[in-house]
Chain A
């Protein structure tokens, strides 16, 4: 008979929902510990030998990684920073994942913030360890430490050419006082020996020989496999169920019920089938007979949502920004353009479906989680088990893609609930259908743009109305929409100068769960801004690159309107820099071959500047992207080949939402189930992609996401250049190009 799981809801809501909201903020802002006094207070300087560096007497060096490796390359780039400052030979370095301990580490991985947020603190940690080594060596030689130098995992004393390896010094060094991170000397950048080089991914061998272990590969003695039958309608609940057929399937061990957690984890709850292997669990689930209380969301459909959005667009929205008088300027203009853009929900579709493995014992819990938020996973398991955090060991595994999906708590909550109910170690794994239909989608949105070109060829006005299924509205404590700045990103502070600039927002109500998808609001804002400015360029009869440069005008620093206190301002010189570089490398202005269109886009997101020139051809209404030429400025490059890889990746990810399928809703449920009805770009469609990385000396910023916002507008602007047709909705449909 089914057993309901009791849950300490009050405890959970305290940590979970708050953590969810706090994490929403944390994800948006890659706050650097040294810049934020509050964070610096929370995490005092720890002994680097306890937190970041382990050295054995035989001089093997292990560096600790506190961020999650999901393909974006942090397992290589972050240790590179540490190793360079520490002065070890990269060849002697091994890497280990940090134990989950938010008191020492800053685990949350996302918002393209890992390198940006780790740059200074890892340099400080590496430098501190290095300085402690030098002090220890100098003491042993009884010499002035200024005569000692650290190099290749050892300390040298110049005059007498004496040396100690770090292995010989570590016992002494680790007992010394830890230097103040604010004053510990950092390397001069022209002394970098590792940072700035193309370094192969440290775990590449494991990823080509089958040894790499992802979350779904976790195995622990006595482990059971479980799958959850969730109501296909969002928010629906189990009314009744019959498990008799399920339980008769060979290998099925138990069938239980878990509660939905409608806040924080936002897990759907449902009927859980536990078995000796996941095949039996899936067969068992197929044999369940469940009656659902589908709830109110079943009235929602893509059509009803679009209808709501169009109705919203016909009325004024809440004013987010207003300078001048855009409405009058538009009314009085001769060269004006009006456009509407529609975006559907988009799924994350990580190749490794969601999963989590948890064991809860009376004296402690252990979990293996492919997560971007280990500290939240620990919170959830502590909340469900009632154990103190120190007794909850969360191992962060490799993961088959994250893209924001693995920042969520739902798949952790389910596994914790099942582990608590059964007392056994259990892996709750999701099938592709589960993953496709119970995602936290990129929001659907509808945009209305009105703009005009002035007599002198500049931007007379720019008005942007947006209605969307806001992420904030789902996640905020009150469950109501908070001001929609987070829905706009750089669309709320465009680099194109205009005296009449108006931004309005109306919430579109939806029961479909949504959260952070690669590049978040920039996935739609990048397109809206760069497609609309392109339309204005056409109205002005101007070259698209020259028009953008004209409107960006002089070198300025534009405050981040969505985050004026902590957001880095948009530096127009750097934006113009990538636009010009992409145009140059993309041979902008050179004769375009027959049957080919060429388009451009440039954008600022996650404190990084990206531009893309795309070339396309169109045959029978089907778009082929032939070529992409990118220029990116993400500050000082840590691992240039890693940067190129991330841009190549973001380009394909962005195009996946433009070229093939959409997530559509019918009767409150997702219609698509697997890759047969939500297909992904495949190798034959891959454009030839080149990425040019600006050799900047600015602070390093992110690159996991910034490649995405420019690809779709560049492609669609290229489609326009060839066909004179504007793409205004996604996916791109044959009939839109007929």
Chain B
């Protein structure tokens, strides 16, 4: 039995401890906001936060997530940074198909939590693990700068 703290709620799941967190979220808990893209941590669609750090949930065995604070796209709006990023994403009309965007947002929130005023090089480093097949990268970059501005203004 694995005890998971997800977005502030406790879930008990009875699964193979090797089952990666992504599948627990999507198939066991029906939290489908986190997406499957590659299964080998090269595309970023499955990005969640584990104790605040951007983490690819497709390669994290659920046993490794137990006892740690997990945040998914469904819960990231509970933080000010999360809300700022989501608002910036909407203002810049970033998503196209939208499938990669949960992962993009989670990576962006993790970046802004560490670096509130990221440079373009910081953005490159933090976001290069997230593929967008629709090519929304230019808008993602603008939205991150905008969110940084929103955060700074709110202080």
A contact residues vs B (CB 8 Å cutoff): 70-73, 200-201, 203-214, 216-217, 219, 225, 250, 276-279, 349-353, 398-403, 431-432, 641, 645, 648-653, 656, 674-676, 680-684, 686, 688-689
Residues of A within 8 A of B43 (CB): 351, 432, 675
- Are B93's CB and A649's CB within 8 A? no
**Residue B6 interfacial (CB < 8 Å):** no
Identify 12 residue pairs between A and B in the complex whose beta-carbon atoms are under 8 Å apart, listed by A's number.
A71-B96, A209-B86, A276-B27, A351-B37, A351-B100, A398-B97, A652-B137, A674-B40, A682-B129, A683-B123, A683-B127, A689-B138
Residues of A within 8 A of B86 (CB): 208-209
Closest to A200 in B: B93
- Are A399's CB and B131's CB within 8 A? no
- Are A216's CB and B101's CB within 8 A? no
Residues of A within 8 A of B135 (CB): 648-653, 681, 686
- Are A401's CB and B133's CB within 8 A? yes
The docked-state distance in angstroms from the alpha carbon of A217 to that of B100 is 14
- Are A352's CB and B97's CB within 8 A? yes
The docked-state distance in angstroms from the alpha carbon of A212 to that of B73 is 11
- Are A351's CB and B132's CB within 8 A? yes
Closest to B34 in A: A210
The docked-state distance in angstroms from the alpha carbon of A650 to that of B136 is 10
**Besides A204-B89, A205-B90, A350-B97, 6 other CB < 8 A contacts?**
A203-B98, A204-B94, A204-B95, A675-B43, A675-B131, A682-B137
- Are B124's CB and A209's CB within 8 A? no
**Residue B102 interfacial (CB < 8 Å):** yes
Chain B residues numbered 32-90 whose CB sits less than 8 Å from any CB in chain A: 32-40, 42-43, 45, 72-74, 77, 86, 89-90
**Residue B10 interfacial (CB < 8 Å):** no
- Are B95's CB and A351's CB within 8 A? no
- Are A351's CB and B96's CB within 8 A? no
- Are A209's CB and B93's CB within 8 A? no
Closest to B126 in A: A683
Q: In the complex, how many angstroms separate the beta carbon of A447 from the nearest chain B beta carbon?
A: 26
- Are B140's CB and A683's CB within 8 A? yes
Closest to B96 in A: A71
Interface secondary structure of B, over-half rule: loop
Q: In the complex, how many angstroms separate the beta carbon of B70 from the nearest chain A beta carbon?
A: 14
Cβ proximity bits B102-137 to A, threshold 8 Å, 1 near / 0 not? 100100000000000000000110011111111111
- Are A400's CB and B140's CB within 8 A? no
Closest to A72 in B: B96
Residues of B within 8 A of A70 (CB): 97
Interface centre among B73, B89, B102, B138, by most chain A C-beta atoms within 10 angstroms, is B138
- Are B99's CB and A645's CB within 8 A? no
- Are B27's CB and A210's CB within 8 A? no
Q: In the complex, how many angstroms separate the beta carbon of A622 from the nearest chain B beta carbon?
A: 15
Answer whether A680 and B131 are a contact pair too, CB < 8 Å, given A208-B95, A400-B98.
yes
Answer whether A684 and B128 are a contact pair too, CB < 8 Å, given A217-B32, A351-B133, A689-B138.
yes
Q: In the complex, how many angstroms separate the beta carbon of A363 from the nearest chain B beta carbon?
A: 27
Q: Which 4 A-B pairs have the closest CB atoms?
A: A210-B33, A652-B135, A400-B99, A71-B97
Closest to B32 in A: A217
Residues of B within 8 A of A206 (CB): 98
Q: In the complex, how many angstroms separate the beta carbon of B81 from the nearest chain A beta carbon?
A: 14
Answer whether A351 and B45 are a contact pair too, CB < 8 Å, given A208-B101, A216-B36.
yes
The docked-state distance in angstroms from the alpha carbon of A70 to that of B96 is 8
Answer whether A207 and B101 are a contact pair too, CB < 8 Å, given A250-B16, A277-B28, A683-B127.
yes
Residues of B within 8 A of A353 (CB): 36-37
The docked-state distance in angstroms from the alpha carbon of A277 to that of B13 is 13
- Are A351's CB and B30's CB within 8 A? no
Q: In the complex, how many angstroms separate the beta carbon of B155 from the nearest chain A beta carbon?
A: 23
- Are A676's CB and B42's CB within 8 A? yes
The docked-state distance in angstroms from the alpha carbon of A112 to that of B132 is 21
Residues of A within 8 A of B77 (CB): 209
The docked-state distance in angstroms from the alpha carbon of A556 to that of B135 is 35
Residues of A within 8 A of B42 (CB): 674-676
- Are B95's CB and A211's CB within 8 A? no
- Are B73's CB and A351's CB within 8 A? no
- Are A431's CB and B39's CB within 8 A? yes
The docked-state distance in angstroms from the alpha carbon of A648 to that of B95 is 12
Answer whether A209 and B133 are a contact pair too, CB < 8 Å, given A352-B35, A401-B99, A645-B96.
no
Q: Contacting A641 at CB < 8 Å: which of B90, B93, B123, B127?
A: B93
Q: In the complex, how many angstroms separate the beta carbon of B92 from the nearest chain A beta carbon?
A: 9
Interface centre among A206, A208, A686, by most chain B C-beta atoms within 10 angstroms, is A208
**Residue B141 interfacial (CB < 8 Å):** yes
Q: In the complex, how many angstroms separate the beta carbon of B75 from the nearest chain A beta carbon?
A: 9
Residues of B within 8 A of A681 (CB): 135, 137
Residues of A within 8 A of B105 (CB): 208
- Are B98's CB and A277's CB within 8 A? no
